[in-house]
Amino acid sequence: MLHPASSWDWQPGERVVLDSTACPAPHEWQEEPYVSPDGEKLGAIVRLDDGLFTLCVNGTPWEASFDKIWSPRFSPDGRLTAIVQQDGEWTMAVEGETWPENYAYLWSTMFSADGSVIAAAIQQDGEYGLCVDGAPWETLYENANQFTLSRDGQATAAVVQVQSMAAADLAAFQRGVFSVAVNGQAWDRTFVNVYTPTFDPSGSRVAAQVRLNLYDYSIVVDGETWKQTYACVWEPRFNPTSGAVVAPVRVAGSWGLAQDGQIIWEPVFAQCWQQAFSRDGKTIAAIVAPGYGKFTVAVNAKPWAATFPVVTDLALAADGKRAAALGNEYNANWQVVVDGRPWDGVFDMAWKPVFSPDGARVAAKVERGGRQNVLLDGKPYKRDFEQVWEPVFSPDGSKVLIRARDGGKYLRIVAQAADF
């Protein structure tokens, strides 16, 4: 059921999808709305008069209702999912249809990039693992966390506990009881801790942070650790073309980037994380702190001049030629910063900037005075809204999809540059 952006309605103009976002079925209350990526559907949990819950999508409740529902999410291909409970057991509902199996608990919904695969974490009889499109791992574990799904959805991984441990058994813990399970199969080696397992773009390799003892951190790739250890590391990422693994590492109190165990950005930063690659793997950008309390973005190790007390939400254009992020002053005075220059305007909140596929344009959702809007290349859309969702560019980059809620209506707007 693929539904790529190229198949969406990109006819410029404003369309009222729903005259009223309120579910017409009798209900006690309605929860927060969620909208589909293409902007055609709005769904929300409602508590019906009979005390059961369902999802109301574009004014029509699902036929099925449940004792509980939480975490409604639209998949990238536009299917509405939610975690539902019936008779004390949990499962996933997709477009109102539940997976065949129920679990003692289910959480952490994940999607493949195209939305064709849906996965979630599960717990059954005190054992933990992953479930993909309703099929659980064959092996479940005493504990599992930090679940991840490959881009194509064909592979799953999580940190798993492979050995039992008595309460407060320091020695057992420090011998290492954790590993990584890929598609349910744990690596042979155990570690004191494992963090943020991540797949390469093909879904065939996994890298993660590991703590080898209480003091030495390193990176593990497919079960093999780098020879080098560090005082601390953060999340590794695969270079999309070379397959090399790059991670922030802490050396003598400062942070840099290491690739396959070799320093590629000298450890001169007070902080360095969230590195991102261009499509060709030749450009790396990361959030860095050139000095204590001064954050910015570095592109190929060169920091921008402008610094902020806090920087979040780094985005790198696919071609690597441009980067954007958000600067703020301890969660106030948010600014959208593109290629090192803040756009005009200071906001109460801002959301991760989005590049057009060709990298020529940047859009971002912002909020000020309780009203939200979308900026395109620094200019606001001609009107603001009670709520907008994050903007989506048309495949050719010429238009911006604005999904908005205002005055009780739900709107789908295909905006052009002249509208900003």
Partner 1 sequence: MGIQDRLIEDVGLREGVKRLTEDKIEKVVQGVLKGETGARLAAYNEICMRCGLCSEACHFYLSHDGDPSYSPVGKVQQTMAQLIKKKGRVSPDDIYGMAQIAYTECNLCRRCVHFCPVGIDTGYIMSTVRRICHKLGVTPQYIQDTAHSHSATFNQMWVKDDEWPDSLQWQEDEAREEFPGLRIPLDKEGADIYYSVIAPEPKFRTQLIYQAAAIFNAAGVDWTMPSEPGWDNSDMCMFTGDFEMMGRLKRRHFESAQKLKVKRIVMGECGHAFRSIYDMGNRWVAWKMYPVPVIHSIEFFWELMKQGKIKLAKKYPGPVTVHDPCNVVRGRGHHEKLRELVRFLIDGEIIETASNREHNICCTAGGGVINCGPPFKNVRLAGSKAKADELRATGVKTIVAPCHNCHGGLEDTVKRYELGMHIKFLGDIIYECMEKPS
Site string for partner 1, 245-274 (x = CB under 8 A): -----x-xx----------------xx-x-
Contact residue for partner 1 among 79, 211, 403, 405 (CB under 8 A): 211
Contact residue for partner 1 among 11, 170, 227, 369 (CB under 8 A): 170
Separation of alpha carbons 356 and 103, rounded Å:
41
Q: What is the dihedral of CA 50, 55, 59, 64, to 10 degrees?
A: -60
> Could you say whether residue 196 binds partner 1 (CB under 8 A)?
no
Span of 1-9, 143-151, 276-284, 355-363 interacting with partner 1 by CB under 8 A: 143-151
Tokens describing residue 37: 């990526």
Cβ distance to partner 1 smaller for residue 143 or 225:
143
Separation of alpha carbons 206 and 189, rounded Å:
14
> Could you say whether residue 89 binds partner 1 (CB under 8 A)?
no
Separation of alpha carbons 30 and 19, rounded Å:
16
> Could you say whether residue 333 binds partner 1 (CB under 8 A)?
no
Separation of alpha carbons 225 and 242, rounded Å:
18
Phi-psi region of 50 (alpha: psi -120 to 50; beta: other; left: phi over 0): alpha
* DSSP one-letter string for 163-189: S---TT-HHHHHH--EEEEETTEEPS-
Listed as own residue / partner, the contacts of 368-375 with beta carbons closer than 8 Å and 24 or more positions apart are 372/404, 374/400, 374/402, 374/415, 375/336, 375/343, 375/345, 375/420
> Could you say whether residue 123 binds partner 1 (CB under 8 A)?
yes
> Could you say whether residue 204 binds partner 1 (CB under 8 A)?
no
> Could you say whether residue 351 binds partner 1 (CB under 8 A)?
yes
Contact residue for partner 1 among 139, 143, 202, 242 (CB under 8 A): 143
Residues of this chain that interact with partner 1 (CB under 8 A) are 28-29, 31-32, 68, 70-71, 104-105, 107-108, 121, 123, 128, 143-145, 161, 167-168, 170-171, 173, 178, 192-193, 195, 211, 214-215, 217, 231-232, 250, 252-253, 270-271, 273, 289, 292-293, 295, 309-310, 312, 328, 330-331, 349, 351, 367
